[in-house]
Chains A and B, each alone.
Chain A
């Protein structure tokens, strides 16, 4: 019963969030603000994680491929496909679910408990629209950029550390990352990133919006938001992979 309650309430909230805005110009400003906070604010962590994961995948692949019949350029192939198919769109979205998701849930939750959401409602402003829709739109606009950026940095990180540690040569790595490249894989990753972007912004917003109580409840709802966002990302990863790759 609880599942159906939350499911129904989530969709009703989304319907309210995407109702006709009171003033489009204010919403546009809010979207730009959110791109700055949610998107640009995540660049550092995305850069660090992507470079290091790229490096680790390259080194691990090189040490795993001990069979002499497997060419060394397979390291580049494995690296490219791991980054494009799974790491950048999915694992990075899980990390963003933690960083961005908890921030959205606690921000909106604090606004609820300090009556700021009630203040918006009393002014005749659609609080769900004003607070949630700019976050979702910003996430939908910026997440694919973050994912492409992560793919690029992962491949660069793999190259730099692969060459520096001597596990792969310049020629083999470059040959590997260009070998049998399927552009659809990038499309697949971008489709996933858009779905995950919606989940990352909307699910924590839902948990924050319906917080009841004080700081303890905000903390709990922030944790719940991250857990359910992560579960939904993994579930949709499976569904989309089956739908798009089979």
Chain B
């Protein structure tokens, strides 16, 4: 479980996040949704220690990330898997080497054991016959899947995904969404996904936080978000014409 308490962050005098508190539950896919520029990515960066909040705390199973020393922070980071928007695969390494990389750096496994684990993770995300290819030689959807394989290679307790569907076609998006949901349940991890894709919200939103202008505006489950009276949430959820049709049938 990850708990954030009263997180605030400003940049060059402009408030990005204002007093945001939330609890991200274990074994569930927790979604952070909101318009572009609402502070979602800043929040996730504060949570994983890439950007320190001005105030507030982030608790990983009770351990306050910004109140412990750098060695202890490192230990928490080893429990985090992260799926970046662009995949962030290492260009100079092959698909297999990318997945083996965290194992090489963070474990004492032998080469054969690392290779076996990497292949297991690649099979889990349904990547086949691509071990020797470089990231520049695979599609966007495959990059995302390899990035998921890399993220789960060290069996993380927390999985962060920053817009996992950006740049993907609807069919591949659903594959990625399902994969994230399956992995979350299978390994009983705390998954946090940033998205503004309503398909993802409906597919996997166990626990949703809606951020509006840096403030936690609404929270609830996917069933509740479609029926809420909150005007800003409705503007976001029913922005598309087809969603308006869905609403009329509810």
Contacts and interface: CB of A to CB of B under 8 A. Distances in A.
A123 B104 contact: no
A123 B105 contact: yes
Given A114-B88, A116-B88, A116-B90, A122 B48 contact: yes
Nearest to B79: A124
B144 to A, nearest CB: 13
Interface residues of A, number: 16
B50 interface: yes
B80 interface: yes
Contact of A114 (B86, B101, B104): B86
17 contacts: A23-B104, A26-B105, A116-B90, A121-B49, A122-B48, A122-B49, A122-B77, A122-B82, A122-B160, A123-B77, A123-B78, A123-B102, A123-B105, A123-B154, A124-B77, A125-B105, A130-B105
A115 B86 contact: yes
Nearest to B74: A124
Contacts of A26: 104-105
Interface of B: 48-50, 74-75, 77-78, 80, 82, 84-86, 88-91, 101-102, 104-106, 154, 160
Contacts of B106: 22, 123-125
Given A118-B88, A123-B101, A123-B102, 4 more contacts: A22-B105, A23-B104, A111-B91, A116-B90
B51 to A, nearest CB: 10
The 3 closest A-B pairs by CB, nearest first: A124-B77, A115-B88, A119-B88
A139 B78 CA distance: 31
Interface in A146-194: none
Interface of A: 22-23, 26, 110-111, 114-116, 118-119, 121-125, 130
Nearest to B50: A118
Given A115-B88, A116-B90, A122 B104 contact: no
A116 B150 CA distance: 13
Contacts of B49: 121-122
Contacts of A121: 49-50, 77
A118 B82 CA distance: 10
Contacts of A111: 90-91
Contact of A118 (B74, B84, B91): B84
Contacts of B50: 118, 121-122
A27 to B, nearest CB: 10
B105 A23 contact: yes
A49 B73 CA distance: 49
B60 to A, nearest CB: 13
Contacts of B88: 114-116, 118-119
Contacts of B160: 122
Residue among A26, A115, A122, A125 with the highest chain B CB neighbour number at 10 A: A122
B106 to A, nearest CB: 7
A121 B76 CA distance: 11
Contact of A119 (B78, B82, B154): B82
